[in-house]
Structure 1
Amino acid sequence: MGSSEPDDTLESYGTDIGSQTSSLARLREWVLVEANRLLIAASISLFVFVFFLVLSELGIISFVNDDSVTRLAGGMIAGTFSLVTLVVSINQLILSQEFASAGNAQNQLAEIMEIRADIAAQSNVPASPASPTKLLELLVETIAVHASELADATTAHDDSEHSELVRTFTNSIEESTDRTRDTLEHTQFGTFTAVSTAVEYDATWQLYVARQLREQYGDSLSSAATTTVDELIETLELFITAREHFKTTYLQRELTQFSQLTIYCGVPAILAAMTIGLLYGGFSGAMISGSYQPYIISGLIAIVVSPLSLLASYILRTAAVTRRTASIGPMLPQKAPEEGPFEVSYGDDMD
């Protein structure tokens, strides 16, 4: 690897902040992770209402046939019961993770306190912040400080190729940390913005590059630069660990909220499906005027699908977050085999 292509070879292939440039990509990102889940669920239900109303106005469907509507109502009742039962099972699974014996709870507390102590020591603070957002912000700031120190330690080095490579790497870190800190400063944990910002920060790629620099060029770097690289690697590892912990905690809260909302919407959904069937229970057919049928039935169907709308909106977000953090450490499943600055094969470390 030469110094003539440092920008290309050290390009991040992760999910770094600010990578979405096109309008379609930003809209997709907004729908998947950024938008309020209740807003997405309400939009889906509204779309269902408009969809059936338009089909009725165009004469493609009709709400006149009693047998068709009652069969539809029966199917919706069964489907809603199944969905609510599934959500209750998911909620019980989440709650089961909260049950722990005294020994397990003590071990979990000891592990968390050990990580927090490591973060405090690495960041040169008396104690790590209690707020998850402030803790992540502190780690990002520490990463930026180590990157700046690494750049300073490499500036005076005689090897211009390695100096240029390290400066390119540290410049990319400083740009990423600046964007991340700006976002974290205006967010609170409990909103998805904090978790999304931590997930989007490309610490995994930075850890990969830092480890490669340390192992391949450690002998040619100064002692100060080598020490700083080791500190940067340790801080990145702590950031990834903290991010995974907070991501898990947030997703537990997210899925618990989803379970509650599904129960809240499940009862009205079942009542709406029953109402559809009862509206066509008379001997003379529908109990409502034909001019109002499309609006009433479409509205009731929109209520019936509200639990499904909630399921779709929450699963879209949790699946997107889980996919982007499918691995821990410098294992990049989204990265193509031919991409990246470092190519190694068996025996490369043997002279």
Structure 2
Amino acid sequence: MRERASEDTRLLWLLLDADRWLVTGLFSAVLFCGIIAVGHFHPSSALTLLTRGDPVETLFQALITGTITAVTLVLTLSQLVLSQELGAVGDQRDRMDGAMEFRDNVADALGTAVSPAEPSAFLRSLVRATGERARTVQNAVDGSDLTEEHRDLLTRYLDDVVSNAEHVTDQLEGSTFGDFDVIKAALNYNYSWKLYAGRRIRESYAADLSDDVEESLIDLVETLELFGPAREHFKTLYFQWELSNLSRTLLYVAVPALLVSITSQTFFDPRDFVGVTAGISDALLILAATTTLSILPFTILLSYILRIVTITKRTLSIGPFILRETDRSVDVDWD
């Protein structure tokens, strides 16, 4: 995924890999330092700025309103998550039948009676199966009388499938659903290009492929087709999981943030803090700290939503649609 990303790897780490509390802390630190910097280097002293008119009262009044709005947003997000789980018994039965049918299809592809129940094990088994199917195709290619050009094309394609499958399988080992590791590993498997390339090779060179090579290639493509719905399903579950965590976290933080905003608006008077600490006005330090704490619900919301929208952008399509630059081990583009 990092190799296919157009963003800087450090930015990608911030958007996806970093702990959300760490991201929240970084946003809060930027906010705190920004307020200190502007207040400290302003031509007028910080105390003069904070006592000219009623900027403190106006600020915290707006923050109180914003925090209440954030709580309302939390309730909306909670309703969004709950709406996916509510429904008539017939709808629930259809969901159950669809899930069981898909699990049976995966079990058939894996050659087992029952497919794994845990998301990480389920995806790991499916990715491992694509690697095994690729090795089967390679064995058929080695025993065929293909031309050197076709043999080299298939070998490069199959080597890419096997190496990517092994890498993703290792990443999924020991991963637990709810952590980002499962979805991260799924994003690292660029199945869309593999699916397109496999279908394109089969259609373009059908007359030159032996029956064994073609049948094993069909098995590989069909297994790759199962990975797309599986990834989208677990991505949806992960979004619901994250939104639930976000809603609960914001509700926990909202009351302390409101407390800080209300007490600051009611009791904080910059003229009571005329001292200086490390060359910075105490009133400015207190204002920066209370503002950062009051706006904590927003920074938490921002840190969670950044990851969700980044994942959404990278998984907009399902199937053999390539929306960005990717690692193309073979040249099978349409003329």
Q: Same fold (TM over 0.5)?
A: yes
In 1: Cα distance, 2:118 partner to 2:173 partner:
12
CA distance in 1, matches of 2:290, 2:119: 42
Q: Which residue of 2 aligns with 1:77?
A: 64
State the identity %: 31
How many Å separate the matches in 1 of 2:58 and 2:112?
A: 66
Query: 1:58, CA displacement in angstroms?
Result: 2.7
Counterpart in the other structure of 1:10: none
1:31 counterpart = 2:19:
no
Corresponding residue number in structure 1 for 2:300? 310
Counterparts of 2:325 and 2:34, CA distance in 1: 40
**What residue ranges of structure 2 are gaps of 5+ in the alignment?**
277-281
Gap change, CA 1:189 and 1:280, over 3 Å in 2 = closer
Mapped pair 1:196 → 2:179 = no
What residue in structure 1 maps to residue 116 of structure 2?
129
Are 1:171 and 2:171 an aligned pair? Answer: no
Quickly say closer, same or farther: Cα 1:66–1:288, change in 2 above 3 A.
Answer: farther
Tell me the residue number matched to 1:330.
320
| 1:180 CA displacement | 0.6
Per-residue CA deviation, residues 195-235 of structure 1 (Å, 9 max, x unaligned), is 11102210111001011111111221111111111111111
SS of the counterpart of 1:307? helix
The code of the aligned residue for 1:187 comes to S
Change in Cα spacing, 1:152 to 1:309, as seen in structure 2 (3 Å) is same
Change (3 A) 1:188 1:329: same
Equivalent residue of 1:328, what SS?
Answer: coil
Any residues of structure 2 matched to 1:126-165 within 5 Å, and which?
Answer: 126-155=113-142, 156-165=144-153
Q: Which amino acid in structure 2 is aligned with residue 311 of structure 1?
A: L
Shift of 1:163: 1.1
> Residues 222-270 of structure 1, C-alpha deviation per residue, up to 9 Å, x if partnerless?
1111111111111111111111100100110101111111111122222
Partners of 1:271 and 1:286 lie apart in 2 by 22
Q: Note the C-alpha offset of 1:286.
A: 4.0
Does residue 224 (structure 1) correspond to residue 207 (structure 2)? The answer is no
Q: What is the aligned partner in structure 2 of residue 7 from structure 1?
A: none
**Aligned equivalent of 2:91:** 104
- 1:277 corresponds in structure 2 to 265
Equivalent residue, structure 2, for 1:117? 104
The equivalent of 2:230 in structure 1 is: 242
Give the aligned partner of residue 170 of structure 2.
182
Residues in 1 aligned to 2:208 and 2:322: alpha-carbon distance in whole angstroms: 28
Aligned alpha-carbon RMSD (Å): 2.2
Tell me the amino acid that sits aligned with residue 16 of structure 2.
V
CA contact under 8 A between 1:42 and 1:306: conserved in structure 2? Answer: no
State the match for 1:8 in structure 2: none
For 2:254 and 2:330, the matched residues in 1 are separated by 49
Residues 66, 280 of structure 1: 8 Å contact kept = no
Amino acid at match of 2:85: E
Match of 1:212 in 2: 200
Please state whether the residue corresponding to 1:63 is helix, strand or coil. helix
CA contact (8 A) 1:190 1:250 kept: yes
**Residues 158 and 96 of structure 1: is their aligned pair in 2 closer, same or farther, counting only changes over 3 Å?**
closer
Q: CA deviation at 1:181?
A: 1.2
TM-score by length of 2: 0.90
CA distance in 2, matches of 1:333, 1:216: 23
CA–CA separation in structure 2 for the residues paired with 1:280 and 1:139: 60
Number of equivalenced pairs: 323
2: distance between equivalents of 1:342 and 1:133? 32
Deviation at 1:335, TM superposition (A): 4.8
State TM-score, norm by structure 1.
Answer: 0.86
Note if contact 2:146-2:208 (Cα within 8 Å) is conserved in structure 1.
Answer: no
Deviation, 1:276, is 2.1
Letter in 2 for 1:125: T
More displaced 10-residue stretch of structure 1: 272-281 or 326-335: 272-281
Distance of aligned partners of 1:303 and 1:102 in 2 relative to their CA distance in 1, 3 Å threshold: same
Query: Which residue is equivalent to 1:90?
Result: 77
TM superposition shift of 1:310: 1.0
Give the drift of 1:19: 4.9
Q: 2:116, 2:122 within 8 Å by CA — same for their partners in 1?
A: yes
| Counterpart-to-counterpart distance in 1, 2:108 and 2:221 | 14
Q: Give the drift of 1:51.
A: 2.1
Select the residue among 42, 49, 55 that pairs with 2:38.
Answer: 55
